[in-house]
Amino acid sequence: MSDNQFYDSLEEVEPGHTFLDSNEMVLNMGPQHPSTHGVLRVILKLDGEKVNGIECVIGYLHRGIEKLAEHRTWAQFAPFVDRLDYTAAVSNNLGYCLAVEKLLGVEVPKRAQYLRVIVTELCRLASHQVWLGTHVLDIGAVTPLFYAFRDREAILNVFEKYCGARLTTHSFRIGGCRYDAYPGFAQEVLHICEDLGPKIDEYRDLITGNRIWLQRTKNVGHISAEDCIAYGITGPVLRGSGVQWDVRKAQPYSSYEDFEFDIPIGSAGDTFDRYLVRIEEMRQSIRIIRQAVEGLMEGPIIARVPKVIKPPVGEVYHSIEAPKGELGYFLVSDGTTQPYRVRVRPPSFINLQALQKMATGSLVADVVAIIGTLDIVLGEVDR
């Protein structure tokens, strides 16, 4: 299976009979551990270096966001969703606004849809840069972190100019956008697109051919397409296993059907393929942003939505392709000004569940690589 001899030697040894003749030992990783990307506790059952069992303990960051929603009005809850996946706040916001708009039956003006696409795709770039920097850092390469964060800065500067905030932006409103593009917005965004292409090549030159990187990621954390579907995994992890499925193509929202882009897929379903998929996704995001900026038409940026939002009695489920996977909102309205129930389908929570499947049988050092490749954000896992 592996071209690494050390792995093969481990395969042959039956559990409990290692060459060290050691006993099983329990190791706690976290909840405060730099490579778990937040407060995640992983209990490892080890036989020497080999992981025989793994269990995640989550909930350290649970803030009861779904409960809080029931005590806010529909509009008041919108800023809360920024705090779910705080590396991609814009996507969370878009998903929530689209779900409420579906419930209300509101048609968002075309200009607002394009603006939303531009900001959301910029956010996907920023989120993938955080993933790249921290994932590679976990595996031991320090330099790419600085490259990725340097380039992310340009995107955050645009967010800051656009809506005043860098991380938890809350730039969208139910019915459209709060802010129109500022003067020079299009030029700045196009400049980022122009700039980032060669910089992604730089990441590639730094990482892709690196021998240590290849050894640490090839055949590590393998998951098959069937297992992905059984676990409900979505996003780059699913695509890394060769399933060409993306909500933006399958069920387009916010005018994604207007843009030409490809869905990159992997074949091996290992950490290296997922890395390639995300890198290619960044290039595709640039393509989408270019088309959206060039096609940005004049017009209103927000639909007429009543000040007091009172959706009809009913329930909807709406999902979008967030950087981490399918982010869905299931909303139940009882016809009042407050949601009766808001359920967030968090991609990180559902993807993290497969850690057990992916990491059992691997080496303890690979657990760190697999957590990184799943690209989880604990704010979203625990809500």
Partner 1 sequence: MPEGPEGNVANPVPEKTAAPAAAAPKPAPTPWDGECAQKMRSLFGSGIRDSLTFAGQNYLIVDRSICHDVLRSLYQDSGFTSLTDLTAVHYPKDELPIEIIWILYSMSRNEHVRIKARFGDGEAVPTSTDLWAGANWLEREVYDMFGASFTGHPDLRRILMPEGWAGHPLRKDYDAHKQDENWVRANIGIESGQ
Cα torsion through 121, 168, 153, 233, rounded to 10: -50
**Residue 202 sits in the site that holds partner 1 (CB under 8 A):** no
Residue 197 or residue 361: which is nearer to partner 1 going by CB? 361
Rounded to a whole number of angstroms, the minimum distance from the CB of residue 176 to partner 1 is: 8
* Residue 35 beta carbon to partner 1: minimum distance, rounded to whole angstroms: 22
Task: List alpha helices for the chain, DSSP H.
Answer: 5-12, 65-69, 74-81, 89-104, 110-139, 143-163, 185-207, 211-217, 225-231, 236-240, 247-250, 271-295, 347-352, 355-359, 364-374, 378-382
Is residue 343 at the binding interface for partner 1, with CB under 8 A as the rule? yes
Selected from 156, 214, 263, 332, the binder of partner 1 by CB under 8 A is 332
Task: Note the residue count of the chain.
Answer: 383
Would you call 152 exposed, middle or buried from its count of C-beta atoms within 10 A (0-12, 13-18, 19+)?
buried
Residue 30, token pair as written in the block: 């976290």
Specify the stretch interacting with partner 1 by CB under 8 A; choose among 10-18, 100-108, 195-203, 260-268. 100-108
Specify the residue, 268 or 316, whose C-beta has the smaller distance to partner 1: 316
Q: Which residue, chain included where needed, has tokens 């809080």?
A: 68
Q: Tell me the residue type at 110.
A: K
User: According to CB under 8 A, which one of 79, 197, 232, 252 is a site residue for partner 1?
Assistant: 232
Per-residue binding string, partner 1, 46-85, x by CB under 8 A, is ------------xx--x-x-xxx-xx--------------
Joined together, the tokens standing for residue 38 give 């937040």
Look up residue 119 and give its two tokens.
Answer: 């900001």
Among 5, 142, 183, 211, binds partner 1 (CB under 8 A): 183
The footprint of partner 1 (CB under 8 A) covers 58-59, 62, 64, 66-68, 70-71, 102-103, 105-107, 109, 161, 164, 176, 178-183, 227, 229-233, 243, 245, 250-251, 299-304, 312-317, 319, 326, 328, 330, 332, 340-341, 343, 345, 349-350, 353, 357, 382-383
